[in-house]
Amino acid sequence: MTLTRPVVVGAGVDRVDGPLKVAGAAAYSSDITLPGMVHVALVRSTIAAGRITRLDTGAAEQLPGVLAVLSHHNAPRLAAGPTNNLGPTPPPPLQDDRIRHHGQYLAAVVAEKPYQAAAAARAVTVEYERTEPVLRIEDPAGELRTDPFGMDATRGDAAGALAAAEVVHEATYVTAENTNNPLGLFATVAQWSGGRLTVHDATQWTSNTCQTLAQMFEVPESAVRVYAKYVGGAFGSGLRVWPHVVLAVLAARTVGRPVKLVLSRPEMFTGIGHRPNTVQQLRIGAARDGGFVAIEHEALQTVAMDDENLEPVAASSASAYACPNVATRDRQRRLNIPCPGSMRAPGEAQANFALESAIDELSYLLDLDPLDLRLRNYAQVQPQFGLPWSSKALRECYQVGAERFGWSRRDRRIGAMRDGRWLVGYGMAGVSYLWWQVHCEARATIGSDGTGYVRSAATDIGTGTYTVMRQLSAELLGLELDQVRFDLGDSNLPWSPQAGGSGLTGALGNAVHAACRELIRTFLRTVVNDSASPLRGCTIDDVAVSGGRIHHRADGKLGESFVAILARHGLDELTADGVSDPPDPQEVGMAPAGAFAAKFVEVHVDPDLGLLRVPRIVSVVDGGRILNEKLARSQIIGATVGGVGQAILEETVTDPRTGRIANANLGDYLVAVNADIGEIDVTFVGEPDQLTPLGTKGVGEVGLPGTAAAVANAVYHATGKRIRSLPITIDELL
Ligand code: MOS
């Protein structure tokens, strides 16, 4: 059996969960209400470093409705959570009197009503012994960690080649701290009953939340069940088990009632990660003809005092372009800040701005078109491994993008293009996104009524997993869309990795593929000696599936339905499991390719007022095989909007004296809204990737990087002002 020509798959099928969401019938974790449920409010530190000298909960405990106040005085010691592919679990809360950052949880109040919990939280009094916080990325008082990910790359002799290069561009690029702002406030509902724990959570990874809570609360994994049926966005902030989840579980155990904890928007800024700010040094050496001879990329980012964030920044510059001499170095500075974490295209969002700005700057030094310069240095093979890519259509991305955008209409002179009083700029950037895939499991069933049921513990964070996996299951089982159910968001289902790193569609799709194939094999084994079956003795390579039937590949009439096989053998259903594991690049002799993209951006700048508008963005993406064109396009549009936010609006501002985040709300933290966004054009190019049976490459994140660099490059083209820091603000354009 091979994949037939995509009929169901590929189609722009509407989200299967769309009607539920529009009708308010999709229950996010904050919508879960259980009988007898009580509520948690949090007390947070108002200093960034030091220790608690006095924490008085007496007044709070006397207030109406209050059931318990947890603090480091009475909270039990909790075991550390596991270390996984994203690093260690964040340290458990309320374990000692040390203050590591402003906004750290110091107490959790449990009360009958949410307003009672909130009032009592305000009645908790805290006194501190304050020490000087370390808050700035350049502050030498903060520990500097070299090569924290063990991913620093070298190829050839970058320093030597730079010293001998005909043309060298060297500059420092700075990106601001940004905060994930999913619409859905993170919420945890926790219930203990008879030693068993049930949790509804806004997580991107139910399997991990289950394992982590089991380990921290020292109960077997089989006693913990984590649901995340719907998640109102996350963008990376739901990848880890943050302290508020642990507090909800602890509170539920303490009062012996189900509890709900919903973070407030300000709490979302200090408790669920954020994109770390960076300072990046780029040195690129080139020959006069434009060929790169050396790239050096050194990136410094921030990290919290007692936690980790696995976010390589400079590392990706080793594989973006053909260049014989490369050195990348990542560094982290420990600060008294809430722990940074993944935020859509973690690392790459910052690195791409620096690298693609630097290449644009170099193009002016060389007097070459910036697109030509990229094509001259195109990495035809994966430059770090020296292996052919499993797929790469970046050249097509550039070509199709230039055409759709009208790049040839660009007047190369700075400030030469105008639209009335507005200066017009054209800028572009290339994107080589990372490849990431890990182990995943799925299970497939066909019942006596002939319908399919496929499932995995995976999550759909709004990206369309329910929909594409149902499409895929339908195609693989030869059923119609409405004959298949796809279930997810439940840790009791087969183990799944996180919806993250743009890796879930690949990992889960391949596991679903394996499970569905195994299910067809199970049907064939059932009839292997069945003289009544036209499929007797067939192997999976002899057959195809369609219309609820298995039939001979060569003769569609010769076969029978799932229903007939089950009925004749007296079976209610057949079930099979499938797993997928990432291929080993050396074994397959190919470098696994992530998605590629080219971004072309038009900006308008008002030279008198410094106003910056982005009326038009063209994105061309090589995402391998696209399972659902409509949803993939939505992913790219959404990520591009996030890229505009990074480019011109988003900045988390920390008070340099107190460590308090000064704009921890959606009034003061600016995200792109409709009025900020013009025309967004999205095109997919390329072929199914060769590495996996499905040929998909993730499209969740590739839409974001490239946007900020292309905007900055367009701003330079319009104004002659080279802005090397994000976000680009009005004052810099005056
Ligand atoms: Mo993503 S930032 O890997 O959810």
Q: What is the mean pLDDT of residues 392-396?
A: 98
- Amino acid at site 418: R
Nearest atom (ligand 1) to Cα of 235: 4
The model's pLDDT over 35-52, given as tens digits with 9 standing for 90+, comes to: 999 999 999 999 999 999
Q: Which CATH class is domain 278-436+588-733?
A: alpha beta
**pLDDT confidence of 3, banded at 50, 70, 90?**
very low
CA–centroid distance, residue 636 to ligand 1 (Å): 14
- DSSP line for 292-318: EEEEEEEEEEEEESS------SGGGGG
The model's pLDDT over 444-487, given as tens digits with 9 standing for 90+, comes to: 999 999 999 999 999 999 999 999 999 999 999 999 999 999 99
Please check the confidence at residue 365 and state whether its pLDDT lies above 70.
yes
CA–centroid distance, residue 343 to ligand 1 (Å): 6
Ligand 1 pocket test target in 272, 309, 701 with most atoms within 8 Å of CB = 701
Please check the confidence at residue 169 and state whether its pLDDT lies above 90.
yes
The model's pLDDT over 98-140, given as tens digits with 9 standing for 90+, comes to: 999 999 999 999 999 999 999 999 999 999 999 999 999 999 9
Give residue 522's pLDDT: 98
The ligand 1 site (C-beta within 6 Å) comprises: 204, 235-236, 239, 342-344, 346, 500-501
- Amino acid at site 313: V
What tokens appear for 217 in the block?
């609360």
What is the chain's alpha carbon radius of gyration, rounded to the nearest angstrom? 27
Nearest atom (ligand 1) to Cα of 237: 4
8-state DSSP, 80: -
CA–centroid distance, residue 498 to ligand 1 (Å): 9
Helices (H), 548-658: 562-568, 585-588, 629-648
Fold that domain 32-132+183-233+238-271 belongs to in CATH? Aldehyde Oxidoreductase; domain 3 (3.90.1170)
In the chain, CATH 3.90.1170.50 covers 32-132+183-233+238-271
Ligand 1 pocket test target in 181, 239, 461 with most atoms within 8 Å of CB = 239
Q: What is the mean pLDDT of residues 207-222?
A: 98
Q: How far is CA 650 from CA 26, 170, 206, 275, 641, in A?
A: 30, 26, 29, 11, 11
**C-alpha to C-alpha distance for 186 and 309, rounded to whole angstroms:** 20
CA–centroid distance, residue 459 to ligand 1 (Å): 12
Q: What is the mean pLDDT of residues 376-390?
A: 95
Please check the confidence at residue 22 and state whether its pLDDT lies above 90.
yes
Give residue 106's pLDDT: 98
Please check the confidence at residue 300 and state whether its pLDDT lies above 50.
yes
Which residue among the candidates 267, 361, 441, 701 is catalytic per the annotation?
701
Percentage of residues in the chain having pLDDT higher than 70: 99
**C-alpha to C-alpha distance for 217 and 236, rounded to whole angstroms:** 25
**C-alpha to C-alpha distance for 182 and 202, rounded to whole angstroms:** 11
Q: What is the mean pLDDT of residues 604-615?
A: 97
65: left (phi over 0), alpha (psi -120 to 50) or beta: left
Give residue 616's pLDDT: 98
The model's pLDDT over 714-730, given as tens digits with 9 standing for 90+, comes to: 999 999 999 999 999 99
CA–centroid distance, residue 328 to ligand 1 (Å): 23
Ligand 1 pocket test target in 180, 275, 342 with most atoms within 8 Å of CB = 342
Please check the confidence at residue 326 and state whether its pLDDT lies above 90.
yes
Please check the confidence at residue 7 and state whether its pLDDT lies above 90.
no
**C-alpha to C-alpha distance for 186 and 245, rounded to whole angstroms:** 9
Sheet of 573-580, strand order: 484-487, 452-455, 440-447, 573-580
Please check the confidence at residue 10 and state whether its pLDDT lies above 80.
no
- Amino acid at site 538: C
CA–centroid distance, residue 292 to ligand 1 (Å): 31
| Mean pLDDT, the chain, integer | 96
Nearest atom (ligand 1) to Cα of 346: 2
What tokens appear for 363 in the block?
């193009």
Q: Is 701 among the residues known to form the active site?
A: yes
- Exposure letters 486-505 (e unless 16+ CB within 10 A, then b): bbbbbbebbbbbbbbbbbbb
Helices (H), 489-628: 504-526, 562-568, 585-588
Nearest atom (ligand 1) to Cα of 234: 4
Q: Whose CA is nearest to atom 4 of ligand 1?
A: 236
The model's pLDDT over 683-700, given as tens digits with 9 standing for 90+, comes to: 999 999 998 889 999 999
**pLDDT confidence of 8, banded at 50, 70, 90?**
low
Give residue 584's pLDDT: 86
The model's pLDDT over 516-532, given as tens digits with 9 standing for 90+, comes to: 999 999 999 999 999 99
What tokens appear for 59 in the block?
């007044």
Q: What are the residues facing 51 on neighbouring strands?
A: 98, 129
Strands 259-262, 187-193: pairing kind? antiparallel
Fold that domain 18-25+438-581 belongs to in CATH? Aldehyde Oxidoreductase; domain 4 (3.30.365)
In the chain, CATH 3.30.365.10 covers 18-25+438-581, 278-436+588-733
**pLDDT confidence of 2, banded at 50, 70, 90?**
very low
Give residue 692's pLDDT: 85
Nearest atom (ligand 1) to Cα of 238: 4
Please check the confidence at residue 4 and state whether its pLDDT lies above 80.
no
Nearest atom (ligand 1) to Cα of 461: 4
Helix or strand or coil: residue 463? coil
Nearest atom (ligand 1) to Cα of 502: 3
Give residue 5's pLDDT: 41
Percentage of residues in the chain having pLDDT higher than 90: 96
CA–centroid distance, residue 436 to ligand 1 (Å): 11
Q: Which H or E element spans position 483?
A: none
CA–centroid distance, residue 515 to ligand 1 (Å): 26
Task: Give me the interface pTM, i.e. the ipTM.
Answer: 0.96
